[in-house]
Amino acid sequence: MKARKIEEARQHLEAATKCMKTSFFKRKPDLHSATIEYFAAAQAYYVAQDLENAIFYYEKSAGIDIDIEDWLSAATKYEKCALLTIQQAEKDFEEEARKFYDLASQNYLLANSMEKAAECLVKVSKVVEKKNINLTVGYMLRACNLLVNFDRQDFAVDTFNNTLNLLLRIGRFQSAITLLRRMIVVFTRLQQEHNIFKCYLSIVIIYLGEGDLPAAQQEFNQHLQVDTYLRSNEIALEEDLIKACEDFDEDRLEVLKKHNQLNYVQQQVNRIGKNLLIAQPVAWYREEGEELIRQANGDESVPLDAAPKPAAPRVEKKVVKPKETPKPKEMPKPKEAPKPKEAPKETPKETVKEAPKETVKESAPAEVKEEKPLSALEAIEKAVVTDVDDDG
C-alpha cells in the first residue's frame, strides 16, 4: 500500500507541474488546479508515512492558496504542517511548528476566523512551553488580545483563565492583576456578576501574596463602593483576610486559608491564598518592569519572550538588617574603670560574713534560758493549790 500511495503522489505532482506551465495559448498557470493536485500529493505522502514530503507539499499548496487569496484553505494547510512537524518530532521541531502555527494564525485572521486564529496561538504556546515559558505567556496574551479586540468575549473566558493561571504560576503577580482588570471588563459585557466578584477577591488575594497590605486595603475600599458586592460572600472573606494581616493574627489567617470560598477562585489564586504570609510575599513572587505590565495590558509592541527579573529584591533586603547590630558592640572600650572597683568589693564581704555568724550563735542559747522559768510558775501554782487544801 505504501508503494501504491507514493506512486499516486507522483502522478498528482506530474499533473500539478502541467497546471503550472504556461504557453502561447496559456498565458497564466492554472493555480486552482495546481493547488488541488499538490494537496492530493501531500495527502498520499501522509498515508504512506512520508511526513517530510507531506509537509513540503502541504506548504507548497498553502502558498498557492495565498496567491489566489484563499486564506482559509491556506490556514488549514499550515496548521496541518504544524501538526505533522510535531508528529515527526525531529530536532528543534518546536521552531518549525511555531513558524507554521504563526502562518496559520495570520491566514485565519485574514479569513475573519478569529476563534481559529486565537486557537492557533494557544497551540503554539503549548509547543514552546517546555523550552521558553515566557514565550508561552506572550502567545497566550496575544490570543487574549485577539479575542477581545474583535469582540469575541464568549470565546475569551477560557483563554483568559488559562493565561491568568500561567502568569501566577511563574510569579508575574502585577501582570495577573492587570489581566484581572481586563477580565472584569469582559465579564461586565457578558453580564456575569459572579465572575466579577471572583475577580475582586482574586485581586485582593494577589496583593496580599505580594506582601502589599496597603494596596489590598485600597482595593478593598474601592470594592465597598459596589452595592451588589456588599451582599456577597467574597467581600466578607476579603475583610477577614485584611484584618488578620493588619492585626498580625497568624492563627486567624490559618483558619481563613481553609475557607470554602477559596475553592471557587482560579487554581493559582487558591494556591496563593493557602500560602499567604503576614507582611511577606509568597516564595515564587517575582518583581516586574513596566514593559511586562504593558504586555499584559494588550501592548503588542513588547517582545513575545519578555521575562521578569531573575531575582526578587525583597529577599536581599533581609540580609542588610544585621549590619547595624555589631557596631554598638564595639563601642564600649573602658577597661581601666573596673579596676578600682575590685578593692571595695573585698571589705564588705568580710564584715558581712562575720557579723551574722556571731549573732546567730548568741541568739541560740538565749532562747534556751528563757524556757527554764516556766517551772517556777508551775511551782507557784502548786503552792496556791496547797494553801487552799490547808484552809480546808
Binned at pLDDT 50, 70 and 90, residue 92 comes out as confident
The dihedral through the CA atoms of 382, 388, 391, 392 has a sign that is negative
Q: What is the percent of the chain where pLDDT is above 70? A: 78
Q: How many domains does the chain have?
A: 2
Binned at pLDDT 50, 70 and 90, residue 332 comes out as low
* Same-domain status, 164 and 300: yes
* DSSP 8-state secondary structure symbol assigned to residue 69: T
Write the DSSP assignment of 107-145 as a string of letters: HHHHTT-HHHHHHHHHHHHHHSTTT-HHHHHHHHHHHHH
pLDDT score for 377: 56
Note whether residue 348 is domain-resident: no
Domain of residue 174, CATH code: 1.25.40.10
What average pLDDT does this structure show over 319-334? 48
* Same-domain status, 93 and 173: no
* Same-domain status, 105 and 165: no
* Same-domain status, 206 and 290: yes
Of 14-28, 39-53, 89-103, 207-221, give the lowest mean pLDDT range.
14-28
pLDDT score for 93: 87
* Same-domain status, 166 and 122: no
* Same-domain status, 90 and 204: no
Rounded Cα–Cα distance for residues 347 and 364 (Å): 28
In three-state secondary structure terms, 200 is helix
Note whether residue 324 is domain-resident: no
Residue 364: pLDDT over 50: no
**pLDDT tens string 48-76:** 999 999 999 999 999 999 999 999 999 99
Distances (CA, A) of 4 to 8, 22, 49, 367: 6, 30, 12, 132
Rounded Cα–Cα distance for residues 146 and 392 (Å): 135
Residue 366: pLDDT over 50: no
Note whether residue 389 is domain-resident: no
* Same-domain status, 205 and 254: yes
pLDDT score for 304: 85
Neighbours of 258 (CB within 10 A): 10
Note whether residue 339 is domain-resident: no
Beta-strand runs (E) in the chain = none
* Same-domain status, 214 and 102: no
Neighbours of 245 (CB within 10 A): 22
Radius of gyration of the chain (CA): 44
Rounded Cα–Cα distance for residues 52 and 85 (Å): 8
Rounded Cα–Cα distance for residues 31 and 139 (Å): 34
Domain boundary among the residues 99, 131, 163 is at: 131
If residue 249 lies in a helix (H) or strand (E), which one and from where to where? none
* Same-domain status, 175 and 309: yes
Q: What do you get for the CA distance between the two ends of the chain, in Å?
A: 156
Residue bearing cell 521558553: 132
Largest CA distance in the chain: 181
Rounded Cα–Cα distance for residues 137 and 143 (Å): 10
pLDDT score for 160: 96
Q: What is the percent of the chain where pLDDT is above 90? A: 61
Mean pLDDT (the chain) is 83
**Which residue range(s) make up the domain with 249?**
155-313
Residue 355: pLDDT over 60: no
pTM: 0.75
Note whether residue 349 is domain-resident: no
**pLDDT tens string 158-184:** 999 999 999 999 999 999 999 999 999
- The answer to whether 138 and 304 have CB atoms below 8 angstroms apart is yes
* Same-domain status, 126 and 159: no
Domain boundary among the residues 289, 313, 337 is at: 313
* DSSP 8-state secondary structure symbol assigned to residue 22: -
Name residue 277's beta-bridge partners: 280
Domain boundary among the residues 313, 337, 360 is at: 313
* DSSP 8-state secondary structure symbol assigned to residue 310: S
Note whether residue 15 is domain-resident: yes
**pLDDT tens string 220-241:** 999 999 999 998 999 999 999 9
Note whether residue 370 is domain-resident: no
Write the DSSP assignment of 67-95 as a string of letters: HTT-HHHHHHHHHHHHHHHHHHT-TTHHH
Residue 388: pLDDT over 70: no
Note whether residue 13 is domain-resident: yes
* Same-domain status, 170 and 303: yes
Residue 317: pLDDT over 80: no
* Same-domain status, 127 and 238: no
Write the DSSP assignment of 272-297 as a string of letters: HHTT-BTTB--TT-----HHHHHHHT
